[in-house]
Amino acid sequence: MKKCDYCAKEISYYDQYCDEECERKALDFYSLRERYTKVFSIFNIIGVFGIPVGLFLSAIDAIIGFSLTAFSMMLVGITVVLLPFPVENMISSLKIKKAVFVTRMIGVGFLVLGTALFVLRILIFN
């Protein structure tokens, strides 16, 4: 049996979605992704490149390096939580609903790790 492209319920071979609500949610997801892809990419690039730069700077100045790494991780986390746009392979294997959930959990992980690193920086260097 074929599965719904949004919620992964089993459906007829000729259908794409199990009902109109799943179809509406899937179309909303795709329109949101199309609208905010550039914003997502810009914030992700800044955050992803900020992490290794912060790690490199921590060898020179630990306070600045830890701060930059923590803020970059929190930026990536906030961006992924607010705009959870999983890659196409993840969508095709998990379907939209579960892929968005997994992507948000990864974002929460980055947010928690960045916050913990920032708290650690405050505790160690003050």
Percent of the chain with pLDDT over 90: 89
Burial per residue of 49-69, b for 16 or more beta-carbon CB atoms within 10 angstroms, e otherwise: ebbeebeebbeeeeeebbbbb
Residues linked to residue 115 through DSSP beta bridges, in sequence order: none
Domain boundaries, the chain: 2-125
Q: How far is CA 82 from CA 14, 15, 55, 61, in A?
A: 34, 30, 25, 32
pLDDT digits over 97-112, tens only? Answer: 999 999 999 999 999 9
pLDDT (0 to 100) of residue 125: 82
**pLDDT band at residue 126 using 50, 70 and 90 as cut-offs:** confident
pLDDT (0 to 100) of residue 89: 96
pTM confidence score: 0.89
User: Given a cut of 80, is residue 52 above it in pLDDT?
Assistant: yes
User: Given a cut of 90, is residue 40 above it in pLDDT?
Assistant: yes
The Cα 111–Cα 114 span in angstroms is 5
pLDDT (0 to 100) of residue 47: 95
Average pLDDT of the residues of the chain: 94
C-alpha torsion angle, residues 27, 30, 32, 36 (rounded to 10): -170
List the structure tokens of 70.
Answer: 């923590």
Residue type, 108: V
pLDDT digits over 65-97, tens only? Answer: 999 999 999 999 999 999 999 999 999 999 999
